[in-house]
Amino acid sequence: MGIPMKKSKSDPGYERVLTCFYMDGERKGALTRLSKAVGQNIYTVEAWKRNGIPLKYADQLIKLTGLKAKDIWPDLYEMFNPRK
């Protein structure tokens, strides 16, 4: 059995990615821009807020946002790179 991961109301990686799609510091329209950028409908991308971003979008989101994988998926990074 795997290690259970804590889930908050909103996935922190999702919020970091969504921030990259703000215009003029405004959240308005960011979800639409993100969904178009990854080729998914807005409801699918909105579900990432609760469920986390699927890893199959890793390469695409890293290129689009300039974020590192450890910023988008901090829980996975900690699991595979524990601090000693």
For the stretch 43-79, pLDDT in tens is 999 999 999 999 999 999 999 999 999 999 988 777 7
- Written as six digits, the tokens of 81 are 């790179």
Residue showing tokens 């970091």: 16
The residue with greater pLDDT, 44 or 80, is: 44
pLDDT for the residue numbered 6? 52
Question: Please, which residues have CB within 8 angstroms of residue 74's CB and are 6 or more apart in sequence?
Answer: 12, 13
**Sequence spans of domains, the chain:** 25-80
pTM of the predicted model as reported, rounded to 2 decimal places? 0.78
Shortest CA distance to 55 belongs to which of 69, 65, 36? 69
Token representation of residue 59:
């390469």
* 6/18 Cα distance (integer angstroms): 21
Q: How confident is the model at residue 11 (pLDDT cuts 50, 70, 90)?
A: confident
Residue 1 confidence (pLDDT): 41
Architecture of the domain whose range is 25-80? Orthogonal Bundle (1.10)
